[in-house]
Amino acid sequence: MQIKKNIPNAITSLNLVSGCIGIMLVLRGSVELGSFFVIIAAVFDFFDGMAARLLHVHSEVGKELDSLADLVSFGVLPGALVFVMLEQSIAPNWVVYFALLIPVLSTIRLAKFNLDTRQSESFLGLPVPANAIFWVGVTYINTRVFASGFNVFLQSIFNQPLIIIILTVVLSLLLVSELPLFSLKFKNLKWAGNQTRLIFIGLALLLFIVLGVSSLPMIIVLYIIISIFVNMRAFKNAN
């Protein structure tokens, strides 16, 4: 029983280890490789919750451990990615400290989430993994050499220090906002009640098939836009 109880925590620890490895790689100059450990951490983050539900083992320790692991993998690691991008740009040296907004506001976001009983079925504010995945895509776009195509256009946008700063500020504020965002948790596989999730997943898969890793920032923006549209429709129907 003790082993069964600790399986989700062991998976959460792998999330934490992935985040630590990613940070070490970024600090050693392997920025693109380090960024992909966000994705690895996200996989472990998904499976620790699934394991807890399947094994029917829930604990306050596990909940806190999950948040601490998420802070490293989806707060500190993307902050390090943005720090390096700004450090390698032509921006003034002091600009790099905008990157600290990500771990700081990710911490506040995670603390609020642990105490907020309103976020069991959906989210209020951008989830920290979504913000981290956005920066994985930006890192990929900025570290690759593209001969031509849409990726070159994206690179011309995302390699601008001012754009990076604006995105850092906006997305960090969204972390702690009260903006309702839909969850990807499925209670069943029926169309009814899951329309928003299924439409988003379909569009996200299409973008990923066409653009690959470069699509990640657009997928996160799509997630935010669809959530806003759903909220506006719900507000209109309520009035």
What is the mean predicted confidence (pLDDT) over 20-35?
94
d(CA 116, CA 135): 26
- Provide the CATH number for the domain around residue 137: 1.20.120.1760
Residues 6+ apart with CB under 8 A from 42: 73, 74, 129, 132, 133
Identify the residue with better confidence: 147 or 18.
18
**pLDDT beyond 60 at 1:** no
The reported pLDDT for the residue numbered 231 is: 80
Give the lowest-confidence range in 27-41, 141-155, 207-221.
141-155
Mean pLDDT is lowest, of 94-98, 141-145, 234-238, for: 234-238
Integer CA distances (angstroms), 163 to 83, 105, 155, in order: 14, 19, 11
Number of folded domains in the chain?
1
Domain that holds residue 103: 2-238
How confident is the model at residue 7, as a pLDDT?
81
Q: What are the φ and ψ backbone dihedral angles of 180, each rounded to 5 degrees?
A: -70, 130
Least trusted range by pLDDT, from 51-65, 69-83, 97-111: 51-65
Nearest CA to 74 among 6, 111, 20? Answer: 20
pLDDT at 115: 79
Identify whether the C-beta of residue 80 lies closer than 8 Å to the C-beta of residue 25.
no
